[in-house]
A and B are shown apart, each in its own frame.
Chain A
Amino acid sequence: MDRRRFLTGTAVAGGALTFQAALPAWARSGSGTDLSGMKTLSGSRFDLQVAAAKHLIDGKQGRGVLVNGQLPAPLLRWREGDELSINVANHLKTDTSIHWHGILLPFHMDGVPGVSFPGIKPGEIFTYEFPLIQAGTYWYHSHSGLQEQLGHYGPIIVEPQGSDPVTYDREYVIVLSDWTFEDPHRVFAKLKKMSHYYNFQQRTVADFFDDVQAEGFDRALSERLMWGAMRMNPADIADVTGATYTYLLNGHSPAENWTGLFTPGERVRLRFINAAAMSIFNVRIPGLPMTVVQADGLNVEPVETDEFQIGVAETFDIVVRPTARQAYTLMAESNDRSGFARATLTPELGMGAPVPNLRPRPTLTMKDMAMDHSAHQMGRSSMLGMDHSTMDHSRMGRMGHGEMDRSAMTNGNHAKHKAQTHHHAKGPGVVGLAMNPTHRLGERPAGLEDVPHRVLVYTDLRALDRNPDVRAPERELELHLTSNMERYMWSFDGVKFSEVDGPIIFYKDERVRLTLVNDTMMPHPIHLHGMFFDVVTGATSDAYKPRKHTIVAKPGEKLSVDITADAPGDWSFHCHLLYHMHAGMMRVVSVLDEKAPA
């Protein structure tokens, strides 16, 4: 069957469609009781229209690339076991696409132009057809250019064929995202010219004097000098910030305050999706403990927490049970605390809850640099006591190179650690090399280390269902996350996608351990299309590893995931921070339809 058709004349004329403040029914504030009663797109046949459209945020008009004129795109409600047929019509003047994030399907339905299919040309209709073999909360978005930043994303709920292990009385989808009135290509160009363009939370002279007061002059100065020697910025938490972003929750700005109703005593399921281009959020509902029941669409053993971080492209389902007749604020702070999205959960419209203040911007630490832990304990001033003349600063990067760890750092008890190797390209695109990356899956994310309540960490997650493949990995592949923030260059193993020769090869049905070493100073949500990561949170033999399509690698972290290469074809593998991917932090993984050579 020909999946590509062309729009007829009348449909093409629809390319100029404009939609005003077109929120889908499920995202409309205070509009409903629960999702089942809302107007969503459900069934197995869908028609989606991708078009340029005007959209109002806080009363100001922006231009988006929207699906069916809605921001976020319509909620698609699917049923496990169904055969889907989805027509996607392109009313834009440029190519578009839809990638079904986290959905297991034949690779040519995965929707990445240049990897899975040629893309959807202007005026063309592409029909996606695939069977649904899973259930849970997922999402969909454009994989063309920077359209994702322009509003081309929406939620998916796949209802399970059998009974749902999660019991709830009411559910809401919570789509978090970031909106800018700037042209995203302009945002990217600005970052290339001045990487700290959007960072208005840098350390100033006044901060220095504060540190002098708190720690003494020597320590404050030596700490500044240490960062300066490496030309690293400890205030570099997020590349694109609230300086240009309005953070959205179901398409609502904080002022527009999306509101969900509940009846006290009900179990309310909240399906969180981080559909932002660049923003990692910390989510909490002061006064309400949250029980995490699902991560990235797959059920986990229920675990109660007070706050969790959601990386770009991750999903978390939580259940809350508000018993009091009071309103609650759902607070989603950007991880650099330059802004927030919020919602109100309330038993009746008009009832509000206080919105907490933004907490202070976190500062990167030695651990984020992946320096020797013993050096970390040596303290800041003794670092400076090292003989700098023996260090070649221009090549040192982030304390990375061999000559450094052998000459200058003999004080450290290196013998304990096996030094991290870096058999990858270096050059202008690679500043830091994690000399001693650490396992951080059990650590709280930056800025949440000291909050006086529970915070979800990856090691809290345990799959509810036994992993489908519990074989030990047959081989290990190590990939480094590399960057030069000053030049705004992002890559894997020091090579941008534009410079990469061939794909990463997996063989059919082999079990591969992928180890990620984050040489950069930023967290990266890493996503593999077509196959789940079995996250190695504890013992390798654990048959209940949490399974994820996206995992955030912290700065200076080394983490491992096991993958069963059961999906032949070409798949995209990338950092889900949109501008990092755009800069080259992407690869193609080819699963060959042949067994690994013996």
Chain B
Amino acid sequence: MAEARAALKKGHGSQVNTLILGERFEYQSNDNDPLTVWEAQGWVGGDIQKLWFKTEGEYETEKGQFEEAEVQALYSRAISPFWDLQAGIRHDLKPDPSRSYAVIGAQGVAPYWFELDGQLFLSNEGDISARLEAEYELRLTQRLMLQPRIELNGAFSDDDEIGVGSGLSTAAAGLRLRYEITRQFAPYIGVSCNRAFGKTKDLARADGKDSDHVSWVAGIRFWF
């Protein structure tokens, strides 16, 4: 009976679930230098505690090389009805030289249904940087969603080796129109505008790169 009671408790509230969410797997026209961009995250855990992973990056299709590739492994804890506090590590395989970071952040839903993810990073070089992502979903029909998205990156010090200058470094703003063929599989098209600022922009220019461009995007969003 003790065994049955233990099973009963476990079966009424302490289930463990797993999510793998491919938020953006997309082609970006990026003027004449097309990119394949990904952003994915997932977790395994219960209602309160989760192990959370995140990854994002860019692949230059014509050059056949990764421009950016980042992975994060985080411990996530629900601290309020709509917010999770997350801490862990981030490792950037690209750009060269690679960097590792300690991460602390908060992810959740703000009033009016803005989905936010804010993170602070401390690199192995001692540099502190930050990122904020905000998304909103406008429901045009039961399956057609218009999603504005903003991402801001900033740094508190220069890290010339990886092309980051202090202050607001880069920003991306996008608008994606998604059709949910099923809840779990949705192709989308949209437009994305990327810019670099200040010293980050100068560093990119010195490297022969144009950091500002507007792209047409097409991709899929999926989860399981």
Contact = CB atoms under 8 A, between A and B. Distances in A.
Interface of A: 112-115, 117-119, 145, 188-190, 192-194, 197, 200-206, 225, 228-231, 393-395, 397, 427-431, 484, 486-487, 489, 491, 496-500, 581-584, 586
A67 B66 CA distance: 58
Given A429-B47, A498-B13, A499-B13, 9 more contacts: A114-B6, A114-B7, A204-B140, A206-B140, A231-B82, A484-B81, A486-B82, A497-B13, A582-B15
B181 interface: no
Contact of A229 (B1, B10, B78, B112): B112
Nearest to B139: A204
Contacts of A228: 111-113
B18 to A, nearest CB: 8
A496 to B, nearest CB: 3
B205 interface: no
A225 B112 contact: yes
A240 to B, nearest CB: 13
Contacts of B9: 114, 497-498, 500
B83 interface: yes
Contacts of B15: 188-189, 192, 582
Nearest to A232: B113
A398 to B, nearest CB: 10
B32 interface: no
Interface of A is mostly: mixed
B64 interface: no
B183 A114 contact: no
Interface string B1-12: 101111111111
A583 B81 contact: no
Contacts of B12: 496-498, 581-584, 586
The 7 A-B pairs at the shortest CB distance, nearest first, are namely A584-B13, A114-B8, A496-B13, A498-B13, A428-B78, A498-B14, A497-B12
Contacts of B81: 397, 427-431, 484, 486-487
17 contacts: A193-B19, A201-B142, A203-B139, A204-B139, A229-B111, A394-B80, A394-B83, A394-B111, A397-B81, A428-B48, A428-B78, A428-B79, A486-B81, A496-B13, A581-B12, A582-B15, A584-B14
Contacts of B80: 394-395, 427-428
A584 B3 CA distance: 18
Contacts of A201: 142
Nearest to B224: A193
B2 to A, nearest CB: 9
Contacts of B79: 428
A238 B207 CA distance: 56
B17 to A, nearest CB: 5
A393 B17 contact: no
Contacts of A582: 11-12, 15
A489 B139 contact: no
Contacts of A500: 9
A496 B8 CA distance: 12
Contacts of A586: 12
B109 interface: yes
Interface in B135-161: 138-143
A181 to B, nearest CB: 14
B223 interface: yes
Given A119-B4, A192-B15, A428-B79, A489 B47 contact: yes
B47 A428 contact: yes
A396 to B, nearest CB: 9
Contacts of B223: 193-194
A204 B109 CA distance: 19
A114 B4 contact: yes
B111 A491 contact: no
A484 B47 CA distance: 10
